[in-house]
Amino acid sequence: MLGYYKKLAFLLIFNIISVSAWAWGFFGHQRINRMAVFTLPPEMFTFYKHHIRYITENAVNPDKRRYAVVGEAERHYIDIDVYGDSAIFKMPRRWEEAVAKYTEDTLRAYGIVPWHLSLMKFQLVNAFKERNAIKILRISADMGHYIGDANVPLHTTENYNGQKTGQYGIHGFWESRLPELFADDYNYFFEKAQYIKNVTERAWRAVTNAHLALDSVLRFEKELTKQFSEDKKFSFETRGNITVKVYSKEFSAAYHQSLAGQVERQMRTSIQMVGDFWYTAWIDAGQPNLDSLLSTDKEEIKRLEEEDNNLEPNPNIKTRSHDTGLIPDIKPTYYFGKNIFRRKEEGGF
Ligand SMILES: [Zn+2]
């Protein structure tokens, strides 16, 4: 019985959060994974298209795991600015060299997304070599998520939610609210997937470009805030049966326009890069015949998804406050989540 309530509460958290922000939001991550399928060559396309529902719906699994799996959170970002001026250019690209310079604990404390992408590519190559359809799908879906994160400017800074510059809430604003409002108008015409000679270098290029875009992300919001009164900057919307405070449509439109296509660019880059990474792993694995894997047991895939969706929250894991994606002074999810964990510690659940 107690377990049932815990699970129910956990589901409620996700249902509430899903209306607000994750990295790229549910919406953005799912769109990135889905569109990436269409960049693939025919030899890969049939298999990925066959499983496009899995690839799309499971694009957010890594975010769900952050609450349940130790070591998950650090894979989604890198607070590169904690390492000093121009650290984005100076940080050793190779994991061993970076560990030697800063220690593994430090690197993990501030995020490892670019290195994790190299590891994932290695894992995907192995999955292809093993011709293991389930592993291929799982790693492909996860990989799409981390690539999406690596292209988000606010995933490259310690000031990840504007908390150091009086812009608290900007994380969900940029990566969730803006795509939800405007992504239907983006251009989704893509080039076919390209082979990447050096995936480590490619991952770092993504993080570097995202980091260089950070200045405008923060500056334009700050400038526009001077032009909008508080009641024009924010509004209230009903999601399900809760009322949430959101950035108003007018403020969102003005911000989106100042960014001059930045969100669209980052989303398009993510999509293209996901296709390129999948394709590169397949080539490096010797281009296995994927059509022969089409008969993979759908039941087994369903079972896997259920497993991924029924993770128990781990109360010892601290997550970042922007995970709720809600704006200050209205944080029901956050407090709700805390209450559950506190009650559990007190023996309540
Ligand atoms: Zn993420």
Question: Position of tokens 């799908």?
Answer: 137
Distance 127 CA to ligand 1 centre (A): 22
Q: State the pLDDT at residue 82.
A: 97
CATH class of the 2-153+167-345 domain in this structure: mainly alpha
Q: State the pLDDT at residue 56.
A: 96
pTM over 0.95: no
Distance 170 CA to ligand 1 centre (A): 16
Distance 157 CA to ligand 1 centre (A): 14
What string of pLDDT tens digits covers the 349 residues of the chain? 444 444 444 444 433 333 334 458 788 999 999 999 999 999 999 999 999 999 999 999 998 888 888 899 999 999 999 999 899 999 999 999 999 999 999 999 999 999 999 999 999 999 999 999 999 999 999 999 999 999 999 999 999 999 999 999 999 999 999 999 999 999 988 899 999 999 999 999 999 999 999 999 999 999 999 999 999 999 999 888 888 889 999 999 999 999 999 999 999 999 999 999 999 999 999 999 999 998 877 788 888 888 877 777 777 776 664 544 444 433 323 222 222 222 222 222 2
Distance 155 CA to ligand 1 centre (A): 9
Distance 116 CA to ligand 1 centre (A): 12
Ordered by start, the domain boundaries in the chain are 2-153+167-345
Distance 247 CA to ligand 1 centre (A): 22
Distance 304 CA to ligand 1 centre (A): 20
Distance 189 CA to ligand 1 centre (A): 25
Distance 69 CA to ligand 1 centre (A): 13
What span, in angstroms and rounded, lies between the C-alpha atoms of 311 and 43?
34
> Is 151 strand, coil or helix?
coil
Distance 62 CA to ligand 1 centre (A): 6
**Segment 309-313 long-range contacts (CB within 8 Å, at least 24 positions apart):** 309/64, 310/7, 311/64, 311/65, 311/67, 311/68, 311/69, 312/6, 312/7, 312/10, 312/68, 313/6, 313/10, 313/13, 313/67, 313/68, 313/340, 313/341
Distance 148 CA to ligand 1 centre (A): 8
Distance 12 CA to ligand 1 centre (A): 19
Distance 183 CA to ligand 1 centre (A): 19
Distance 46 CA to ligand 1 centre (A): 27
What span, in angstroms and rounded, lies between the C-alpha atoms of 17 and 19?
5
